[in-house]
């Protein structure tokens, strides 16, 4: 029986085309990298969700195991894990981000 | 807090040929930008390259010496 926390994560990842697990909330991000990630997506104008895992240590630990990625923020696009802006920025430079987001939002 | 050369040592232990450049982004030696170039990265996508670097820094990350890290990971010919 899968851990309930993992079920919850799977549901969240499915529910949001762009999902950022980070520190703080949209109105009060508590980490520069979380803010940087929001600003990255603000440029494209697509809606995204930020889920604070500072206040949810069990979920934070489960995410680290599931993604084999030790840091926050953790970004999912269309159900796939993409790390953080260290991965998104080079993808953008190679012109891979626009088509990916278009496909995710069915444009 | 961790100094660039200690951080470089950690990386070299697991990627001896890595060329490492470390820049302290906020003057607190906690936010570091690290550029690693290693032949180990050939054929690995970006996510796996970064996982490789994080693995080599597991100890200082777990004990809190590294608070936040920004990574650039390239092979020598991409550097």
pLDDT tens-digit profile, chain A (107 residues): 556 999 999 999 999 999 999 999 999 999 889 999 999 999 999 999 999 999 999 999 999 999 999 999 999 999 999 999 999 999 999 999 999 999 999 98
Residue B16: its pLDDT value, please? 86
Taking CA atoms, what residue in A is nearest to B49? A87
Q: A31–B68: do the CB atoms touch at under 8 Å?
A: yes
Residue A70: its pLDDT value, please? 93
Residue B78: its pLDDT value, please? 72
Q: Are A62 and A9 in contact (CB under 8 A)?
A: yes
Q: Which residues pair with A25 in a beta bridge?
A: none
Q: Is B10 exposed, middle or buried (0-12, 13-18, 19+ CB in 10 A)?
A: buried
CA of B42, closest CA in chain A: separation in Å?
A: 16
Question: How many residues comprise chain B?
Answer: 79
ipTM of the complex: 0.82
Q: A68–B51: do the CB atoms touch at under 8 Å?
A: yes
Residue A2: its pLDDT value, please? 59
Taking CA atoms, what residue in B is nearest to A91? B46
Name the nearest CA neighbour of B28 among B72, B68, B76, B70. Answer: B68
Residue A11: its pLDDT value, please? 97
pLDDT digit string, tens, across residues B21-76: 887 766 555 555 666 667 778 888 889 999 988 998 999 888 888 877 888 888 77
CA of B47, closest CA in chain A: separation in Å?
A: 7
Whether A106 and chain B come into contact, CB under 8 Å, resolves to: no
Half-sphere exposure of B37 (CA within 13 A, CB side): 7
As a whole number of angstroms, the distance between CA B51 and CA B73 comes to 10
Q: B51–A69: do the CB atoms touch at under 8 Å?
A: yes
Cα B41–A86–B39 angle (5° rounding)? 10
Which of B10, B70, B73 is the mutation pick for testing A, counting most A CBs within 10 A? B70
**Which pTM was predicted?**
0.87
């Amino acid at each position: 029986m899968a851990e309930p926390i993992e079920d919850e994560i799977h549901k969240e990842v499915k529910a949001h085309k762009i999902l950022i697990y980070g520190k703080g909330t949209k109105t009060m991000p508590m980490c520069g990298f979380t803010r940087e990630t929001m600003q990255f997506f603000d440029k494209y104008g697509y809606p995204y969700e930020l889920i604070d895992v500072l206040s949810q240590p069990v979920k934070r630990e489960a995410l680290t195991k599931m993604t084999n990625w030790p840091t926050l923020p953790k970004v999912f696009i269309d159900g796939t894990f993409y790390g953080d802006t260290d991965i998104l920025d080079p993808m953008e430079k190679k012109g891979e981000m626009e088509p990916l987001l278009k496909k995710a939002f069915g444009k | 807090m961790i100094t660039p050369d200690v951080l470089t040592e950690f990386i070299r232990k697991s990627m001896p040929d890595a060329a490492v450049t470390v820049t302290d982004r906020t003057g607190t030696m906690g936010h570091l930008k690290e550029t690693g170039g290693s032949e180990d990265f050939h054929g690995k996508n970006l996510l796996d390259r970064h996982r490789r670097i994080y693995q080599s820094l597991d100890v200082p990350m777990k004990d809190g010496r590294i608070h936040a890290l920004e990574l650039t990971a390239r092979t020598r010919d991409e550097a």
